[in-house]
Structure 1
Amino acid sequence: MSVGNVTQAVEFDKAGITLVLGNNLDLGGDGSRNGTGKTTIVNALSYGLYGSALTNIRKDNLVNKTNNKGMMVTVNFEKDGHQYTIERGRKPNIFKFVVDNKDLHDIETDEMQGEGRLSQQQIENVLGMNLSMFKQIVALNTYTEPFLALKANDQRDIIEQLLGITQLSEKATILKELVKENKESIKEEEFRIKAIQEANEKIHESIKDLERRSAIWVRGKEKDIQDAKLGLKRLENIDIEKEITQWKKLEEFNEWLTEKTNTKKELALAKRTFDDSCAILETLVVEDTALENQTCPTCNREWDDPEHKALHESKSEQLAKQKELVNKYKIEHDTIHKTYEGLGVSRDKPSVHYTSLENVYEHKNSLKNLEEKLKDKEAEEDPYVEQIESMKSNALQEVSYDYLNELDRLKEH
């Protein structure tokens, strides 16, 4: 404080008298050494314990004049086996409350704000008196109004504090505060439980919706499996390999029938050509015979003319060529006839189910696809089961009334 920037320590727990000597330069003379510093010590104790001096001096005026900064007051004391240390300072403002070497608050702000106020209340609870009581029974001084001069209300406050009545009031205040906090905690817990219940209800609705979708999916799967099995059964009623064999036989039959038809047409044409050539040959034979008998082939009269010989020679050449043609046509006819006879008289037409071989292979592919589809469909798993189980095990919250019941018991207590 104003003693200067030198640490001054006073031990109040030592027996004997503490002599305070100082030189008051403001007075001078013999009175200048009348123990300057006594008020400083008690003011420092009051400031250290309560943050205020005994007098009404401004706090900034407590700072020493030498440096005008760095004021620090430290009070160490012991109570009920616990060691307490209080540190207060100005410029900068510092407030520390240490209990058993454990720093409860380290605040660089005004001591009457926020946590500083709570710490001061803790200190007064430890001391068992407030600043007014301290001034009346501990630090008696001429600056504090005497007890008998105080107003009735102020006297009553000090008497109640001395008799412990204020402790009852403080306990009643604390109890009232606890009841208020209990009610607020009950409301908060009820709101929390209600929020959990509402959230669970929404989750239950979501689970029901998923279960409904799951049931639809299962029914759809069962229907698809049933349809696939019916399709397989219908397709398996037809022996597709036998059908393919029958269709190969039918193709052979159609080739045979086409060849037989075409051969029959060729045979008819060859016979007609052969018959026509034979008819021409007979005509040429008659004409050649007539010319050989010197008879006109047209009027059957005897014909003895120089031209007769030339005509007879020409007709003989035609006859020879026609004979060659007849032999040729006969060979062709016989060859075709032999081929026709070799094809056989008749064959049984193979019976088939489908109208084309393409439909047969489509049947085979459909059978294969249905078998794969049935296998895949049977292997499918319900996509909603995992979601439902996850929501039941993770999303749903357990509603516990233990804490609320404990709060109710505390309220009744």
Structure 2
Amino acid sequence: MDIPLSYLLPLNFAIKMKLLHLLLLLPPLVILVSSSPCYFSSVFNFGDSNSDTGEYSAAFDPVPPPYGETFFGMPAGRYSDGRLIIDFIVKSLGLPYLSSYLDSLGTNFSHGANFATASSTIIDENVPLSQGGCPLSSGVQLKEFLQFKSRSQLVYSRAFATIIVGVFKELMPKEEYFSQALYTIDIGQNDLNACCLQNKCGEDLIPNAKMVFSRAVKNIYEKGGRNFWIHNTGPLGCLPLFLHQLKLNDEELDSAGCGIRCNKLAQRFNTMLNETVVELRRELPLAAITFVDIYSVKYLLISQAQKYGFEQRLSQLVADYGGGDYNSHFNVICGSTCLCQRSQRVLLGKSCKYPSERISWDGIHYTEAANKWVFDQISGGKFSDPPNSLNLACYQVASDLNGSRSFM
């Protein structure tokens, strides 16, 4: 903010210095007041099941009914009854829903690609698929992106001009799109699962996750990525399926009914992630990095569910049928079937009648209604650092370089 010199001349020197000191302390939000909305030609997403739009289904097992029933009317590769936060992000930017990188049918990558895969972790893990593991960690997703960036540009080369039919060009991003794109990242929850459920957590887990996460962002930056929208992880201790498994007593639960230990673990991870983002801002001067406090938004929703139009008690938050105190069970998950009633296959993991009134869809993932509510809160910048709205996420402000406020 510029102050005309004539305003300062009548003041004595001490007052001038005090006024200038106060001006320097003012937050730099005024920079954003007259800024035009960013142009994001495309979105490239990395993450786990919170933003998987079909990667796991294409590579391994397809998501079964009743997933997808609310919006798509059928399973659509998403772990919800409908759309995810990433779907609302791209829609708000005027882009089509993202195709998963490994999906070979009906894909269109001209506006970006989704590399997020259910069960993925930041750090490589040696957990087999049969035990809930996934080989497509953040490092593999990065390799997929680097290969995609290289191979997608072959359709624009002269060597392929006479071989590749013109329609393929329309399905691939142009080279400049990679620097104009928004890179969204939501991963880390699965790295903490064993720590939360089994209370087995190596001291080097979070430091190693920090190193791998930082390296991935730097690799994207080196390939031209400039605009990053990074989510921290949600309150693990509020997941109904985890609460069912842990069977905590009252002293181990907070006022919202969430597990204290698991939530503190998520907060430790988020503190690390916040520190990583601060360091990345210093090391990547051309990057605009928006850090989004998903934890606080989701905890707000769960702790005040009734206020926002959802069922209040955690035992009522699950749209899936599983039974027990939390209507959730590891052996009866959403879409589970059994051979019973005269050898006929019967669906056990049914959805409830009104999923729009529930927060959790299957004990781990959120309903479309909850995802939409979370998106509405984060898209305006209230829970972000810097406090950029989604459509201004290409801008840097002074606080990017000077530090960051702490997040849960």
Q: What TM-score range do you get, normalising by the shorter chain?
A: under 0.3
Higher relative contact order (CA 8 A, sep 6+): 2
TM-score by length of 1: 0.17
TM (norm. structure 2) is 0.18
Which is higher, the Rg of structure 1 or of structure 2? 1
